[in-house]
Amino acid sequence: MVAAGHTVYAARGRQTAKELGARTVQLDVTGDASVLAAAKTVEADGGLDVLVNNAGIAVELKSDGEPVGASEVTADLMRETFETNVFGVVRVLRAFLPLLQRSSAHGVAYPASKAAVNMVTVQYAKAFPGIRINAVEPGYTRTDINGRRGEQSVEQGAEIIVRMAQLKTDRLAPTRTSTVRWCGEGFRQPGQHAKPLT
């Protein structure tokens, strides 16, 4: 992003940030005061157009790098993980949201939420291989959410949903190894419709 001309703030890796020409801001996503202070620092320095909200920990990994089994997961382990990976993401987003709203570069929250839904779907499909768990991207459909500017009707958008809902078990995509590509509503070409994984 630095190479593309953006001013980048890194929350860790000061030496790497320096080498890249990025700036650093001290930030602990598990603490409200730390997050708010970081937001004020960025605001004072000119604002924010893009937030890469990717803090994460994996405390359930054993010394060999493998995760503990489901029967070994404790409430404390879950709480610690969620404090950073989920609540931390929300905490940072809420603190920096006013800066993003004042930015001239909009369109962050919606596509980010859809990317998250894709990953949630993939993880559930991997965890429950005996259940059909799929995600579909029906295309830029005329609905209230986009002011009915979509390029296809609700009926056309629903076609892929109906087809996926009626798939037989032996026709399921190999969810353990397949990937879901999110094209984004704004980038779909006119007349181009989504297709299910095959």
* 197 pLDDT more than 70: no
According to the model, what pLDDT value does residue 190 have?
38
What is the pLDDT at residue 36?
Answer: 96
pTM of the model: 0.50
Say yes or no to pLDDT of 98 above 60. Answer: yes
Give pLDDT, residue 195.
44
Reference 122, options 181, 198, 55, 183; nearest CA is: 181
Q: Is the pLDDT of residue 7 over 90?
A: no
The pLDDT mean for the chain works out to 76
Q: List the chain domain ranges.
A: 1-106, 107-198
The reported pLDDT for the residue numbered 187 is 35
CATH of the domain spanning 1-106 = 3.40.50.720
Give pLDDT, residue 170.
52
Query: Concatenated DSSP letters for 1-60?
Result: -TTTT---EESS-HHHHHHHT-EE----TT-HHHHHHHHHHHHHTT--S---------TT
